[in-house]
């Protein structure tokens, strides 16, 4: 029996595989349970590293869930699962850190392409790279070939945004954290009744990067506190279930944490499609080659306008129910097609296990 260790899950104690874990919001840990099941089918036993250490077992390999310092283990190969961009997790752009590993699993098309001309790609050319995609969990209420809440009737929320109040950790023009706030502010100032904000951290002002950003954040906290007003009037609290919120919404602002990074396609767009909600998407530069354009609204068609959110709002407001259902139907067809499978938990598990057995 081959034994592998998972490094980086804060709770340890195999909590990463526990469907009842309080950290398993929206069943976000399901891809790792799928990984464990498929590993067992191939004679591989997986545990969080602390469990193995407590039992005195030395793993043959470890899988690091990014940004964790390497723990040297004799006769053990170490692999990094690189989920986030360096804008959010700066060490993911550190060649010295990446080169410590025997292999890096990533969606990053630039890093995967040794001939891309990227400085990071060139500096890490000797470290093997393996292609993965962000895994997406099918909600319990989702059924293939069925559309949740067809049309407008049961969708009393016009447009929503679900996300946490965060900021990029590196200055970079590609970041979209601040663009989400622009969208929120436009709707709050111009169409508050048609917008609802969900997520964590919105009882305080926009989080900002750097020392000056922190000072501005502190100053912006004062006035709403003194006046007893909400910092973000559209805020409805954290979403206990993303699926339940999105199943009641017509549209969702789905921006990645950063734009124009090839391969960076996370769960945001898929969460909306699962719930029959039409995503307004911005992020992956070649999204149209990965997901049919009939499934979503590409915000780039409005981004260069003098008043992009006004134009977006007009487009959404004037959409007929027939056209809306056409978006929903296109999303249903995509999710039922082989084109979606690379983004599934099963495909993620297989992409990880393949190189470990080669």
Q: What is the pLDDT of residue 224?
A: 58
Could you count the other beta carbons within 10 Å of the beta carbon of residue 205? 20
Structural domain includes residue 149: no
Structural contact between residues 133 and 348, judged by C-beta atoms closer than 8 angstroms: yes
pTM of the model: 0.92
Six-digit token pair at 264? Answer: 């960076």
Residues 45 and 121 in one domain: yes
**157 strand-pairing partners:** 249
Strand ranges of the sheet holding 157-162, from the earlier edge strand across to the other edge:
195-198, 157-162, 249-255, 278-282, 297-298
Residues 94 and 161 in one domain: no
Structural domain includes residue 257: yes
- Return d(Cα 160, Cα 177) in angstroms, integer: 16
Structural domain includes residue 59: yes
Q: What is the pLDDT of residue 66?
A: 79
Residues 244 and 268 in one domain: yes
Range of the domain at 82: 2-136+343-357
Residues 177 and 214 in one domain: yes
Residues 181 and 295 in one domain: yes
Q: What is the pLDDT of residue 215?
A: 60
The closest alpha carbon to 128, from 159, 152, 155, 101, belongs to 101
Length of the chain: 358
Structural contact between residues 271 and 283, judged by C-beta atoms closer than 8 angstroms: no
Residues 176 and 305 in one domain: yes
Residues 248 and 347 in one domain: no
Structural domain includes residue 145: no
Structural domain includes residue 147: no
Residues 102 and 241 in one domain: no
Structural domain includes residue 313: yes
CATH number assigned to the domain comprising residue 289: 3.40.50.11660
Structural domain includes residue 8: yes
Q: What is the pLDDT of residue 114?
A: 81
Six-digit token pair at 193? Answer: 């009744």
Residues 70 and 120 in one domain: yes
- Return d(Cα 90, Cα 171) in angstroms, integer: 11
290-292-297 Cα angle (round to 5):
110
Structural domain includes residue 151: no
DSSP string, 172-214: -TTB-HHHHHHHHHHHHHH-GGGEEEESSSTTS----SHHHHH
Rounded average pLDDT per 10-residue block, the chain, 358 residues: 91 93 93 97 97 97 92 95 95 96 97 88 96 96 95 98 93 95 98 97 76 61 58 94 97 98 97 98 98 98 96 98 98 98 97 91
Q: What is the CA radius of gyration of the chain?
A: 21
Structural contact between residues 256 and 299, judged by C-beta atoms closer than 8 angstroms: no
Give the DSSP H/E element, type plus range, for residue 221: helix 210-227
State CA 278 to chain mean position distance. Answer: 17
Q: What is the pLDDT of residue 203?
A: 85
Residues 285 and 251 in one domain: yes
- Return d(Cα 212, Cα 224) in angstroms, integer: 20
Residues 189 and 305 in one domain: yes
Total tally of structural domains belonging to the chain: 2
Residues 197 and 122 in one domain: no
Q: What is the pLDDT of residue 157?
A: 98
- Return d(Cα 259, Cα 341) in angstroms, integer: 23
């Amino acid at each position: 029996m081959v034994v592998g260790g998972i490094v980086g899950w804060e709770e340890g104690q195999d909590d990463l595989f526990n469907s009842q874990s309080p950290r398993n919001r929206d069943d976000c840990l399901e891809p790792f349970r799928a990984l464990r099941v498929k590993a067992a089918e191939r004679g591989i036993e997986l545990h969080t590293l602390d469990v193995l250490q407590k039992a005195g077992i030395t793993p043959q390999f470890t899988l690091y869930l990014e940004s964790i310092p390497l723990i040297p283990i004799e006769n053990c190969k170490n692999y990094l699962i690189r989920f986030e961009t360096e804008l959010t997790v700066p060490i993911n752009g550190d060649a010295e850190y990446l080169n410590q590993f025997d292999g890096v699993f990533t969606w990053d098309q630039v890093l995967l392409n040794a001939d891309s001309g990227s400085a990071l790609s060139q500096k890490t050319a000797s470290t093997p790279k393996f292609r993965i995609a962000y895994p997406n969990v099918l909600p319990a209420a989702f059924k293939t070939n069925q559309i949740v809440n067809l049309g407008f009737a049961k969708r009393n929320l016009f447009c929503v945004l679900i996300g946490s109040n965060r900021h990029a950790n590196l200055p970079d023009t590609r970041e979209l954290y601040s663009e989400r706030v622009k969208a929120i502010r436009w709707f709050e100032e111009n169409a508050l009744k048609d917008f609802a904000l969900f997520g964590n951290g919105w009882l305080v002002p926009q989080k900002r990067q750097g020392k000056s950003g922190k000072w501005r954040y502190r100053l912006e906290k004062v006035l709403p506190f003194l006046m007893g007003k909400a910092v973000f009037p559209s805020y409805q609290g954290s979403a206990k279930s993303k699926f339940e919120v999105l199943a009641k919404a017509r549209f969702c602002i789905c921006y990645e944490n950063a734009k124009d990074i090839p391969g960076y396609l996370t769960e945001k767009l898929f969460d909306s499609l699962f719930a029959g909600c039409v995503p307004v998407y911005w992020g992956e530069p070649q999204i149209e080659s990965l997901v049919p354009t009939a499934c979503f609204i590409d915000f780039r068609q409005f981004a260069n306008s003098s008043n992009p959110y006004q134009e977006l709002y007009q487009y959404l407001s004037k959409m007929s129910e027939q056209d809306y259902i056409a978006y929903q139907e296109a999303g249903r067809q995509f999710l039922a097609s082989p084109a979606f499978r690379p983004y599934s938990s099963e495909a993620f598990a297989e992409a990880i296990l393949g190189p470990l057995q080669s």
